Amino acid sequence: MIGGIMNIPMDSDLGKMLAEAIEKKNGNGNEQPAISYDVEARVLIDAFQDIKRPNPFQPGSLVMPNTYGAEKYNFDPKGPLLVVSTYPADGASPARDFSKAIDRPDMDIMVRRDGAWIRFSAESWHFQFYNGPIAATADDDDGA
């Protein structure tokens, strides 16, 4: 029967490696936070300004993940996504009930991945307007 990591002698090579890994993970009590608390407070206040803003997008808007969205969504950060519907930020979607959810999506987005269409709900504060190029269509007069 395997006794688990608690039964590994700490003076063994494996025990020393485990202790070193735990110290790296938990720190030795003397480490500083990655950023100072005053900077973290400023980041939180600035993020809240974005979170509380009304949804600026309309169905048909092209968007792309912003700094917050890049951490949450696994899409090309410069690639376009299409807003297909919007609804109140209280989660009152005609198709889904988000009233008990942590996230409060206020729009549905579509994107193509590997040739397939993916539609998902999202919070608008994770996105910004798409600012990349848009290919011309065959019937564009000026080619732009």
Question: Within a domain: residue 106?
Answer: yes
| pLDDT at residue 140, as a whole number | 59
Write down the pTM of the prediction: 0.60
Q: State residue 44's pLDDT score.
A: 84
Q: Which of 122, 104, 124 is nearest to 50 (CA)?
A: 124
Indicate the number of domains in the chain: 1
101 in a structural domain: yes
**Whole-number pLDDT of residue 2:** 42
The reply to whether 105 falls in a domain is yes
Residue 45 lies in a domain: no
Q: How far apart are CA 61 and CA 66, in angstroms?
A: 15
Is position 21 within any domain?
Answer: no
Handedness of CA 8, 10, 16, 20 (dihedral sign): positive
pLDDT for position 71: 76
Compute the distance between CA of residue 121 and CA of residue 58 in angstroms, rounded to an integer: 14
Give the pLDDT of the chain (144 residues) as one tens digit per residue: 344 444 455 566 656 665 666 565 555 555 555 678 888 888 888 878 877 788 999 999 999 998 878 778 877 777 888 898 888 755 455 555 555 555 678 899 999 888 899 999 888 988 999 988 888 777 655 544
Q: Which of 95, 139, 144, 103 is nearest to 122 (CA)?
A: 103
Residue written as token pair 């300004």: 49
Q: Are the C-beta atoms of residues 109 and 84 closer than 8 Å to each other? A: yes
The answer to whether residue 117 sits within a structural domain is yes
| Within-domain flag for 10 | no
- Residue 59 has a pLDDT of 93
In a domain, 65, yes or no: yes
Domain that holds residue 65: 55-129
> Which pLDDT score, from 0 to 100, does residue 6 have?
47
